[in-house]
Structure 1
Amino acid sequence: MKKSKTKIAFILPSLSAGGAERILSFLAQNVNKDYFDSQLLVIGHDTDTAYCTKGTKTSFLNKKRVLFGIPSIFLFLKTNKPDLVLSSIGHLNTVFGLMAPFFQNSKFIIREASVISEMGKFSNSSKLYGFLAKIAYNHIDAVVCQSEDMAIDFKKIYNIPKNKITVINNPITELFPLKEKNSDDDVIKYITVGRLSKEKGHDRLLNILAKLPHSFHYTIVGSGPEENEIKKTIVALALTKFITHIPFTNEIGKVLSKNDLFLQGSYVEGFPNAVLESCVVGTPVIAFNAPGGTKEIIRDGINGYLVSNTEEFTSRLLSFNKDKWEPKTVRDTVIQKFNTQEILKQYENLFLSLIKN
């Protein structure tokens, strides 16, 4: 008799552009179909989709907020009876922790997306939310953290047993072509890709760039709540003619390949997919040594540099010689550790271990 497959429901607030959305939709598409029957449930609207889910059963609740979708989520779980439920993003994770006691035959996994204590400095989460999260997470069967810093922080805040927490880095979801070489002209080309929000540190990058004595061009890719403030800062620092802003692109590999150096100004990170992607195409990175997963990607002097302060960041920019960086060497540092097969295997091993318990 053929053994039935393990049913997994991957659940997200939306499929708009974002790290959690990309990773969970990727997992739903690529888990081993011989062992797992996967489906994707999206609380938001199908018109907001930024990622392809071809070949994966995908349902949209078309709700504006997670709160409005709770009755439909409950009905979905009751009807489909998944063996495993994997969600990502804090408020949705809290919902599933509170629902878990009503579905004793399902195992609930949450994927944390940030170093919560550090992110709290840039957001105003209510005390009620924090209280509900502590109750909810006691009912969760497993927690996936993207970095060691995240795992330590999560355990400390929620007092979750260590054996329930697993660190799994993000995979290289698309193997972009390796760039052939760095740009030939004398103008150094910098790039930053990420949400335009306070924790991403665009402000300190702009202030550093404003003091550089050499010619450069800086591309900022992304959109977010700080867009207007960032644009005001660009004008105030007289940087307008040196900067291009791209709100969104489906060709991020090509954009990264056209630049010499990726700049990361973040004060805190979860696991920076854009930094990983920059290394994939062969563009090195200079990043602040912030809490999160950046330090698990950067190999100092091989695919970039980690720095401790703005003075050290500036010093690295001033001494940067693009001709000394071999794209293939930069790429090779991340291919082995973060390749699709390796990360999928880690997730699948976690899924199988939960089914056995």
Structure 2
Amino acid sequence: MKVLLIGQLPKEIGGNYTTGAANVVYELSKQKIDNIKYYTYGINIKHEYARTASTYTDQYIGYRLNPLRIVGHALLHPMETYKHLMHYRNVDHQNVLRYAFYEDNIREAIKRVKPDLIHINSIGNVSPARFAIGNRKIPMLLTCHGIFYRGDETDVENKDCYLGNIPLVDTFSGLTQESLEEYESILGISKDRVSVIPNGVDCGKFYYSLEERIGIRKKYGVHDDCKVFITVASVQERKGQLAFIKILEKMSFNYQYWIVGKGPDEAEIIKYIADHELVDKVKLLGYKTTKELYKYYSAADIYAHASWKEGQALSELEANATGLRIVVNKAIVGTIASNVSFNDYYVLDFDNICIRSIDEWVSKEQLGRQSRTNFDWSVIAKMYASLYCEILMKFKDE
């Protein structure tokens, strides 16, 4: 089965920018499953970079500007082209020439690959892909990495984009149980049309290392009796770092809190640390590369997932893979792929803080910490492979 993935690709292989969704598309594109062969069209990568990154023909396909081809198609199909352009303007609320450019490149990718199924990874790519499919009988799967329309009638652009493009999709998947509810309550899509498949993690890059734990803790002067919390995220209010600091202040146990990442709230946190004499307790470590991160996860004891809004955070999955226990904000429990009722999770209700309960959970000893591989991308890819087969079977029967 040939599957054409459509989405962003990270800078790592030549993309113009990197996002969480881009990393997800890239990791999935590298998976090898017996009956599945992935081809990936990157909307943000030049064709020459995509070709260089490929290990087989058309593994990655990038964009090329071909105005004559676009004009030629428009002259051959004037009414169809007009309808598409009006959709891009009135439904997507996007630059019509840019979306016509996407459509042309996706059409060429479809001609090259002749896929059995197309897997879209953003609502913004739905209409160019559907119009590029044309009269071909190819089912389209949409995975939403977050539903950004929240049902607000005044949010006209998001409302038009989501509700106007949903009818163009054959079937859907989401990352979390929360997304399953949102598909139905916000977008009106029956739950039986939506599959839940979480994001994955490359367990070859994220694993527990006792050697690195010892080295990093020594570097930061961390003694055995000190509990190290870590958050890997953009430093901003939504991610909850400052709110979590204010909780740790009230605790009696010995701790350090490591904040990995950069962001607009750094200055405010630095000031708070200085004003509250927490310089020895809270460390802003800045940006760390993917190759370095497992060392810091290994050195920590607890991952602080204090965010107030997530699709599904890759950092939580990475932390889980390194065997970390996790404190998770009650507001995003529905985004967690693991069972949060297990002892490795503590659900933190910011509106009802119980210091004694937190203290007791943190103080529990973790015996025999090990790496976890239950969300390795190879496992997730098999889940998608089963879904692809199910979609094709239904599509053929209709």
Cα distance per residue 1:198-253 (max 9 Å; x no partner): 43222311221333344422211223454455445545544344312322322211
- What is the aligned partner in structure 2 of residue 151 from structure 1? 180
CA contact (8 A) 2:9 2:44 kept: yes
> Superposed, which structure 2 residues align to 1:236-255 within 5 Å?
237-241=276-280, 242-250=282-290, 251-255=292-296
- What is the aligned partner in structure 1 of residue 227 from structure 2? 188
For residue 286 of structure 1, give the secondary structure of its aligned residue in structure 2. strand
Change (3 A) 1:327 1:308: farther
For residue 324 of structure 1, give the secondary structure of its aligned residue in structure 2. coil
Q: CA deviation at 1:94?
A: 5.0
Counterpart of 2:137 in structure 1: which amino acid? N
Matches of 2:44 and 2:154 in 1, distance apart?
A: 21
> Superposed, which structure 2 residues align to 1:156-305 within 5 Å?
156-175=185-204, 176-180=206-210, 184-235=223-274, 237-241=276-280, 242-250=282-290, 251-291=292-332, 293-300=334-341, 302-305=343-346
Paired residues, number? 338
Q: Which has the larger radius of gyration?
A: 2
Cα distance per residue 1:25-69 (max 9 Å; x no partner): 11111142x5333222223357xx9xx966362234499xx8574
The normalised TM-score by structure 2 is: 0.72
Of 154, 162, 168, 1:133 maps to 162
Matches of 2:231 and 2:142 in 1, distance apart?
A: 29
Larger mean Cα displacement after TM superposition, 239-248 or 52-61: 52-61
For residue 312 of structure 2, give the secondary structure of its aligned residue in structure 1. coil
Of 373, 379, 383, 1:346 maps to 383
Counterpart of 2:384 in structure 1: which amino acid? Y
For residue 44 of structure 2, give the secondary structure of its aligned residue in structure 1. coil
Change (3 A) 1:25 1:315: farther
Cα distance per residue 1:250-306 (max 9 Å; x no partner): 221111001111111112322232222212212211112224544442444532212
Q: CA deviation at 1:6?
A: 1.9
1:8 aligns with 2:21: no
CA contact (8 A) 1:31 1:348 kept: no
> Superposed, which structure 2 residues align to 1:84-103 within 5 Å?
84-90=117-123, 92-96=124-128, 99=131, 102=134
- What is the aligned partner in structure 2 of residue 114 from structure 1? 146
Q: CA deviation at 1:74?
A: 0.9
CA contact (8 A) 2:183 2:190 kept: no
Counterpart of 1:40 in structure 2: which amino acid? T
Q: CA deviation at 1:352?
A: 2.0
Matches of 2:60 and 2:226 in 1, distance apart?
A: 46
For residue 5 of structure 2, give the secondary structure of its aligned residue in structure 1. strand
Q: CA deviation at 1:111?
A: 1.3
For residue 183 of structure 2, give the secondary structure of its aligned residue in structure 1. helix
Q: CA deviation at 1:9?
A: 2.9
Matches of 2:318 and 2:345 in 1, distance apart?
A: 13
> Superposed, which structure 2 residues align to 1:42-61 within 5 Å?
42-44=42-44, 55=55, 57-61=59-63
RMSD of aligned C-alpha atoms?
A: 3.5
Specify every segment of 5 or more residues in structure 1 that has no aligned partner in the other structure, as ranges.
Answer: none
Counterpart of 1:11 in structure 2: which amino acid? G
Change (3 A) 1:143 1:313: farther
Change (3 A) 1:108 1:243: same
The normalised TM-score by structure 1 is: 0.79
Matches of 1:227 and 1:104 in 2, distance apart?
A: 51
Counterpart of 1:194 in structure 2: which amino acid? A
Cα distance per residue 1:106-136 (max 9 Å; x no partner): 3222211225467x89xx9941221221010
Change (3 A) 1:84 1:228: farther
For residue 256 of structure 2, give the secondary structure of its aligned residue in structure 1. strand
Matches of 2:316 and 2:166 in 1, distance apart?
A: 30
For residue 331 of structure 2, give the secondary structure of its aligned residue in structure 1. coil
For residue 38 of structure 2, give the secondary structure of its aligned residue in structure 1. strand
CA contact (8 A) 1:283 1:327 kept: no
Matches of 1:208 and 1:97 in 2, distance apart?
A: 47
Q: CA deviation at 1:171?
A: 2.1
Q: CA deviation at 1:178?
A: 2.5
CA contact (8 A) 2:329 2:350 kept: yes
For residue 168 of structure 2, give the secondary structure of its aligned residue in structure 1. coil
